Amino acid sequence: MTLIRVDSFSISLDGFGAGPGQNLENPLGIGGRALHNWAFPTRTFQTMFGSEGGTTGPDDDFAARGFVNVGAWILGRNMFGPIRGEWTDSDWKGWWGASPPYHTPVFVLTHHSRDSIPMEGGTTFHFVTEGFSRALERARAAAQGKDVRIGGGVATIRQYLQARLIDRMHLAISPVILGTGERLLADIDLLALGYKCTEHVATTNATHVVLEREK
């Protein structure tokens, strides 16, 4: 059965999934990079970006789990890049270089149409302007029985959460205070949506929690 999953989504102690003022130098917004301090040193992330070594243990286990049995991804347009409005820079192909770490079809939610972009390593970015339900339909079909991972950012996850479409969500709560930015769970009643916490593991870098929705 295809699960609709969020994995390795980092939030601050005060609930922000991104800092304010995203730009080329600050993909996660100002101060937001610290949200991923638990993930960057892990073997999974180091390998992803072409380095050897990296830490093992619970942080790495969670990072690695996020890539198991994923057949398609969904991203919001702001996670894909800092360009807003019409696609004025057709050279922009995401933050991740020629071979992005997805290796599957990736459906990017946007109101501005753009041709699909095939990348090296099996990733193809498709731009979906028909809304989040249609993006999920397309991702499910592309995943061919594997899971669909909702990568983020904040606005994208919030839509799928509120529509009760996310089966499982791993959040890494980082010991970081951002003060301002994009709040993941503001005014979202997780209990009413049917979520309960099914797993929690604390490391020195983050507290990992897994939320699952009762059907």
Q: Which of 72, 151, 160, 208 binds ligand NAP (CB under 6 A)?
A: 151
Between 46 and 96, whose beta carbon lies closer to ligand NAP? Answer: 96
State which of positions 195-214 bind ligand NAP (CB under 6 A): none
* Binding of ligand NAP by 28 (CB under 6 A): yes
What is the distance between the alpha carbons of residues 215 and 213, in angstroms, rounded to a whole number?
6
The secondary structure element, H or E, covering residue 137 is helix 132-143
Q: Are strands 70-76 and 105-109 parallel, antiparallel or unpaired?
A: parallel
Q: Measured in Å, how far apart are the chain's first and last C-alpha atoms?
A: 13
Q: CB burial class (10 A; 0-12, 13-18, 19+) of residue 47?
A: middle
Question: Quick one: which segment of 59-67, 138-146, 150-158, 201-209 binds ligand NAP (CB under 6 A)?
Answer: 150-158
At 135, which amino acid appears? Answer: A
Sign of the torsion angle spanned by Cα atoms 57, 95, 68, 166:
positive
- Tell the smallest beta-carbon distance from residue 163 to ligand NAP (Å): 10
* Binding of ligand NAP by 100 (CB under 6 A): no
* Binding of ligand NAP by 42 (CB under 6 A): no
Question: Quick one: which segment of 28-36, 99-107, 190-198, 200-208 binds ligand NAP (CB under 6 A)?
Answer: 28-36
Q: Which of 84, 118, 175, 180 binds ligand NAP (CB under 6 A)?
A: 84
Both tokens assigned to 120: 């090296």
Q: Are strands 168-173 and 207-213 parallel, antiparallel or unpaired?
A: antiparallel
* Binding of ligand NAP by 182 (CB under 6 A): yes
Q: Which of 148, 154, 161, 166 binds ligand NAP (CB under 6 A)?
A: 154
Residue 92 burial (CB count, 10 A): 15
Residue ranges that bind ligand NAP, judged by CB under 6 A: 9-10, 17-18, 22, 27-29, 32, 35, 76-79, 84, 109-112, 131-132, 151-156, 159, 182
